[in-house]
Each structure stands twice: as C-alpha cells, then as structure tokens.
Amino acid sequence: MDTTSDTIGRALARAVDTRACVIGDGAVAQAADLFRSQFPGARRAMLVFDPRTRAAAGVRTAQLLADAEIAVDTHVIEPGGATFHADYRYVDEVRGAVKATCEAHPDDGTVPVAVGSGVVNDLVKLASGELGRPYMVVATAASVDGYSSFGAAIRSPEGAKKTYPCPAPRAILADLDVMRTAPAWMAASGFADLMAKVPAGADWILAYEFGAAEWHDSAWHTVQDGLKDAIGDPEGVAAMATGPLTRLVEGLMLGGFAMQDMQSSRPASGAEHLFSHLLEMRDHTFRGEIVPHGIQVGVFTLFMSRVYEQILAFDYSALDVERCLANWRPLAEQERLAAAAFAGTKFPDLGVKAVRAKFADREETRRRLEGFRRRWPEIRARLADQLVPAAEIERRLRVVGAPATPEEIGSTVAASLADVRRTIYMRDRYMALDFLDLTGQLDDFAARAFLPR
C-alpha cells in the first residue's frame, strides 16, 4: 500500500495516534485495504458525512468497503444541507449514532469513518475519542491541518471555541482527485492555514527565546523543514496541479502530526489563529455564510507578518528594561483586565485562566527582558530567517483566491484592533503580542500593520 512520501513516513514514526496516511490521485480506491490493515478484525464501518461530502466521496467509500465484505452503516449530519459549525451538540449527535451502531452490533468492532473536511473530521474525532474508539478519516478537501491533529477544535456548550483533547485518526486517506472537486475556496483556506505556520513559528521562536515557552525540536522540524517549499507555488495550488497540491496536503498533515508529537497545537498555530477563534465564538458570518477558518487565519497571517516586520526593524539591543517593567502588571490586575475582556460573554473565565497560566513575576520578567536585550542580534537573525516578507504573503493569498483584509471577510479594522488585546487573554500561549504589550509597542505596531499598502 502506498504510504506517500518519506517525509510523511518519518512524521508517522513520531505520531502518537496515526499509523497510516495515504495521499495521492485516486487514493480512495485504497479505502478497503487501508481499513483492513489498520483495523484488523473489524467487520463494520460507521460512515459519517454531510450531504456534500457524501456525494464527493461517501458513496464511493461505502461501496468499496461493502465490496470488501465490510458492513457499512451511515449517519448524515444536517441531511437537509444546512451549513453547520463544529458545535458540541453535533458531537452529541455523532456519538449517539456511533454508540447505537456499536450496541446493535457488539461483535463487529465498529470503526467510525469521517468522510469530509475540517468540521466533519473534528466532530467524529471527538465523538470517537469520547467512546474510546479509533477512527479513520477520508479527507475531501485540502482545507485544514486538523485532519491529523491530536485534538478537536469544537465550540463548547457555553460558546467558547476550545481544543478538546482526543486522539487523532488511526488512518488518513486523502484523494487528490476528490479534493479537486471541492470548491476552490477550500484549497485557498488550506493554503492560508499552511502559510500561517510562518508567523506561528516566529511566535514560537520569540516566546522560547524570551523564556516563556518550551521547545520541542522534532515537532518544529516536522512542520518547518519543508514549509517554504510547500507554500512556494501558489500558482500551482490554484491550478490544483498534482505536485503543488501534494505538497500542500502533506504540509497540512505534517502540522497535525507535529501536534500529536508534542501534544500541543503550538507547532502549528500562533496569534493569527486566535483572531479566527474570536470571530467563530461570535458566530461571525459574511453575506449570510460562515467564513472558513483558514480564510480568517490568512487575513491575520498577513497582519502578524506586518507586525513582525516592525519587530525586525526595531533595535531591541537598546531596550529600556525599566520602562518596560512599568508596563508589567501584578496578577490581580491582569486577571481584572482579562475578565473585562470577556465580560458579558458565555466564557467569562477564559481570560483569567490564560493569564494565570502564563504569569511571570516582576523579577522573572526583568530577567527575561535583560536576556532578550543582550541576545537580540541572534534572536533577530533567527526570526528573519523564519519569516516571509509580508508583501509576498499578501501576493500568495491573492493568487490562491484568499482574502487579505478584515473587510473582505465581513469584519473591520476597528473590530480587529479591538481584538488584538483579547488574543492575549485567549490562550496560555506566549506570543509576539504579549511581548509588545510589555514593551509598550502593541497598539502602535497593530495600527500600523492594518494600514493600507
């Protein structure tokens, strides 16, 4: 059986949950062989899809499994075709359907099979995890890196977008021919999500060099080693040519494998993702439609790239540590600000938990600032090597058909600027925005990053 490239093979060797990943033209033909090899003894598959993904690959997958004498049950999410979010209520629905099949056929070793893209996969991933059952995914679009990640990004019953820990799929099947039938915006979304690994990597470098994050070398290399090649041909991705599309899909899968390896989303996301999560928490739509996650992320990938260009242009070897310490806030004050940021929402404690997790006292903050100032030339060189010029980021977004400004996704610069500080309170993850808040440059750098070019 084709297990794709050596790069994927090396990543699989370090992945916690996924054992096989097949990517290629016509790959769906291997569905039954992949199922049998990865779920020995299983005699039943529970396919979960929506009406669109059922037509794209669900019917074919079901027939291939049935032809191999594997019993097939199915569950359709929103059978009327309504658009849906990755809401926990759908996890309840999918879990109930899988559980009912398992109870009706207790000796068949039923395996859930997600047929779809990001939302369907995350719903099946979490439902399967809660049931303690390994699952398989047939990916229908090159739209997200979440296929292979260890957790599921689901909106909780309270309304907060959070990553629920749960195992990644045991087996992944990605047919490029199927992906070519998906709407063009889906590949644009995936390409934007993959480009986000550039500023996300810079966030990780900065946080680590500042002393506010741990390092995980194998996860870093899994994501970053082939990244610039994978995002280097937007024209080829727009044309859905086999080589560029394969590199895109592999890049997306590698992000998830790195998350499995580290058991964290740090290798694949930074501040740019948090802006998207804030929009999703508000049920943000544009022209009556949900704006895809990767499309949102692309806008703020450009924003963060422009922020980083300002960071690179500043001489932090002359940083005034005492002036920065005047911006340091005791934990009680940080908790107050974090609570105010989410006051009146369904998740008022979100920010408080985040600031508690990444709080550093005044003396530790002083030590970090002094070390950063002393080592700025080498830190700057490392950041410069990681980044892609913002103008090139914007060009590539345009080539694949992805938006680049808040207005193009139905938001505004004013709303996005209001979210800049909220991102600091969204996660326990230290980012460039945290650092700029401390140095007193956050508001100025953010405003400049949104100026028309």
Alpha-carbon gap, residue 329 to 356, rounded angstroms: 12
Which residue, of 182, 206, 231, is where some domain finishes? 182
User: Is 142 within 8 Å of 180 (Cβ atoms)?
Assistant: no
Alpha-carbon gap, residue 412 to 25, rounded angstroms: 40
Alpha-carbon gap, residue 321 to 192, rounded angstroms: 36
Residue 170 lies in a domain: yes
What CATH number does residue 428 fall under?
1.20.1090
State residue 1's pLDDT score: 44
Residue 336 lies in a domain: yes
| pTM as predicted | 0.94
pLDDT, tens digit (0-9, with 9 covering 90-100), for 367-411:
999 999 999 999 999 999 999 999 999 999 999 999 999 999 999
Domain extent for 321:
190-216+264-449
State whether 134 and 273 are in the same domain: no
State whether 210 and 165 are in the same domain: no
Residue 125 identity: K
How many domains, in total, are found in the chain?
Answer: 2
Angle at 119 between CA 172 and CA 143, to 5 degrees: 65
Residue 304 lies in a domain: yes
State whether 156 and 194 are in the same domain: no
State whether 147 and 195 are in the same domain: no
State whether 194 and 103 are in the same domain: no
State whether 177 and 195 are in the same domain: no
Residue 233 lies in a domain: no
State whether 44 and 138 are in the same domain: yes
Residue 228 lies in a domain: no
State whether 320 and 273 are in the same domain: yes
pLDDT, tens digit (0-9, with 9 covering 90-100), for 307-316:
999 999 999 9
State whether 30 and 125 are in the same domain: yes
What CATH number does residue 154 fall under?
3.40.50.1970
The residues of the chain scoring below 70 in pLDDT are 1-4
Question: Which residues face 285 on adjacent strands?
Answer: 290
User: Is 337 within 8 Å of 350 (Cβ atoms)?
Assistant: no
The four Cα atoms 164, 175, 298, 433 give a dihedral, to 10 degrees, of 40
State residue 72's pLDDT score: 98
State whether 369 and 397 are in the same domain: yes
Residue 417 lies in a domain: yes
Residue 250 lies in a domain: no
With 0-12 / 13-18 / 19 or more C-beta atoms within 10 angstroms meaning exposed / middle / buried, residue 410 is: middle
Instruction: Specify the residue for token string 């345009």.
Output: 398
State residue 3's pLDDT score: 47
Residue 252 lies in a domain: no
